[in-house]
């Protein structure tokens, strides 16, 4: 099968491209003009210049493809709401229209457990749960994910293509430029602190497992019209997660803790200060980060197990170790650059839900 992958120069998309090639598919990647395509060139991926926000570039990219895996989106919780809508929602619509015009059969949308909303504490998340239609005003990521996934399934309902949504939890692994650097930045701070008592469960997934589910969703007939959660069976608490990350760096995990309300207030203050100062990059603390780290969640993945035959192959500790190895190697490559530390600090402040 010839498959177009969007977001292939990013974290999840690059692993999807790698997995599909291993399965014998012909992979074409949609790449923006200034994207770093060295990894994709090494894989011998076909490159198609384009951008989901530029619909005129998508017809050629989609031509001749039987499937699309859509992994391009704005990731994290800091940015202008119009940017989330332009890329995540309108960009998805542009790609869906191009897919329909090109006669693409299967469209796999990399979504997120964020579609369930941001008021989830203590919940077991199942695919049958309703969308989180009323996220907090500042949570543009949830809004983007809900609207884009609804749009994808509307094309399935009309019979225009076969749609599947893959909903990962927090993703870890190599080539992660968001979640792992953000965690590293927290661990390195002199007054690093847990939020609350640290016993809340953070659902996580290895990026290669997410790519495995995307590959299954692309080809199995029974996946059409379905959504699939992807999360590790291992319950990892906030405290355990930071111990794992700190261990890869040879550092001590945070011992201090701050109450949830204090962390939210600090996030709101940081956001306000950055907006007033028109600062580049995200603040060191945001309410999105706090919600991501402090919520106590569990994720039901029985649908992926029962319908796709998926089994977790890449445990989270292994995925974190792979992410650390990639991160450390990258740090060494840029160590001689006088601006490397500044660039890495800016990237480390970003947070991600699973994509």
In sequence order, what are the residues at sequence separation of 6 or more whose Cβ sits closer than 8 angstroms to the Cβ of residue 303? 127, 226, 227, 228, 229
User: 191 versus 115: which is more confidently predicted?
Assistant: 115
Q: Does residue 269 surpass a pLDDT of 90?
A: yes
Q: Is the pLDDT of residue 268 over 50?
A: yes
Q: What is the mean pLDDT of residues 247-262?
A: 92
Instruction: Measure Cα distances from 164 to 157, 203, 218, 308, 342 in Å.
Output: 12, 21, 8, 12, 39
The verdict on domain 2-238+291-348 having CATH code 3.60.15.10 is: no
Distance, CA of 9 to CA of 58 (rounded, Å):
17
Pairing of the two strands 46-49 and 26-31: parallel
Instruction: Tell me which residue of 98, 112, 84, 86 sits closest to 4, measured CA to CA.
Output: 98
Both tokens assigned to 333:
């490559």
At 92 the pLDDT is 98
State the chain's mean pLDDT as an integer. Answer: 91
| Cβ atoms of residues 15 and 211 within 8 Å | yes
All residues at 6 or more sequence positions from 189 whose CB lies less than 8 Å from its CB, including other chains: none
**Could you give the CA distance from residue 28 to residue 39 in angstroms, rounded to a whole number?**
13
pLDDT band, residue 77 (cuts 50/70/90) = confident
d(CA 160, CA 162): 7
CB atoms within 10 A of CB 24: 7
| Rounded-to-integer distance, Cα 211 and Cα 3, Å | 14
Among the listed ranges 268-277, 281-290, 333-342, which one has the minimum average pLDDT value? 333-342
Centre a 10 Å sphere on the Cβ of residue 249 and count the other Cβ atoms it contains. Answer: 15
* pLDDT value of residue 345: 40
What whole-number distance in Å separates Cα of residue 26 and Cα of residue 64? 11
Mean pLDDT value across residues 262-285: 89
DSSP 200: S
Contact in structure between 29 and 45 (CB atoms under 8 Å): yes
Token pair belonging to 5: 């992958």
- pLDDT tens by residue, 201-233: 999 999 999 999 999 999 999 999 999 999 999
State in Å, rounded, how far the first CA of the chain is from the last one. Answer: 23
Report whether pLDDT(339) > 60. Answer: no
133 pLDDT above the threshold of 90? no
The number of angstroms, rounded, from the C-alpha of 355 to the middle of its chain's C-alpha atoms is: 2
Res 354: pLDDT: 32
pLDDT at res. 352: 33
Res 189: pLDDT: 84
Instruction: Please tell me the predicted confidence (pLDDT) of residue 334.
Output: 64
Give the residue from 296, 188, 285 showing the smallest Cα distance to 236.
Answer: 296
pLDDT at 121: 75
Domain boundaries, the chain: 2-238+291-348
Average pLDDT over residues 155-176: 97
- Stated pTM of the model: 0.92
Compute the average pLDDT of residues 271-288: 88
pLDDT at 343 over 50: no
The answer to whether 42 touches 240, Cβ cutoff 8 Å, is no
Task: Locate 327 and state its tokens.
Answer: 């991160």
Lookup result for tokens 């693409």:
104
Contacts of 118 (CB under 8 A, 6+ apart): 132, 135, 136, 139, 142, 291
Q: What percent of the chain has pLDDT over 70?
A: 94
Structure confidence at residue 341 (pLDDT): 43
Tokens of 187: 């661990």
**What is the total residue count of the chain?**
355
Residue 347 pLDDT exceeds 70: no
């Amino acid at each position: 099968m010839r498959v177009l992958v969007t977001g292939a120069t990013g974290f999840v998309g690059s692993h999807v491209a790698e997995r599909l090639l291993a399965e014998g598919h012909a992979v074409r990647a949609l790449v923006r003009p200034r994207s770093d395509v060295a990894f994709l060139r090494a894989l011998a991926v076909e490159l198609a210049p384009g951008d989901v926000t530029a619909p005129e570039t998508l017809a050629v990219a989609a031509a001749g493809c039987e499937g699309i895996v859509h992994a391009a989106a704005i990731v994290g919780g800091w940015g202008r709401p119009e940017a989330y809508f332009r890329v995540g929602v309108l960009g998805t619509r542009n790609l869906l229209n191009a897919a329909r015009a090109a006669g693409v059969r299967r469209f796999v949308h990399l979504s997120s457990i964020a579609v369930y909303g941001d008021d989830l504490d203590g919940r077991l998340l199942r695919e049958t749960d309703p969308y989180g239609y009323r996220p907090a005003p500042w949570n543009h990521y949830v809004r983007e994910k809900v609207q884009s996934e609804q749009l994808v399934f509307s094309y399935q309902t009309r019979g225009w293509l076969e749609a599947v949504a893959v909903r990962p939890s927090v993703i870890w692994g190599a080539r992660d430029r968001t979640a792992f650097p953000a965690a590293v930045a927290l661990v390195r701070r002199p007054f690093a602190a847990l939020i609350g008592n640290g016993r809340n469960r953070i659902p996580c997934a290895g990026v290669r497992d997410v790519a495995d589910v995307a590959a299954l969703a692309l080809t199995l007939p029974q996946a059409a019209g379905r959504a699939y959660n992807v999360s590790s069976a291992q319950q990892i608490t906030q405290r355990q997660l930071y111990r794992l990350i700190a261990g890869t760096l040879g550092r001590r995990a945070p011992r201090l803790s701050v109450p949830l309300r204090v962390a939210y207030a600090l996030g709101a203050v940081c956001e306000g200060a950055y907006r007033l100062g028109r600062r580049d990059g995200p603040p060191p603390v945001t309410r999105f980060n706090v919600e991501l780290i402090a919520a106590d969640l569990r994720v039901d993945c029985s649908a992926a197990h029962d319908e796709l035959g998926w089994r977790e192959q890449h445990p989270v500790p292994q995925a974190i170790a792979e992410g650390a190895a990639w991160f450390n190697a990258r740090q060494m490559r840029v160590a001689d650059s006088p601006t490397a530390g500044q660039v890495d600090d800016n990237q480390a402040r970003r947070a991600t839900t699973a994509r």
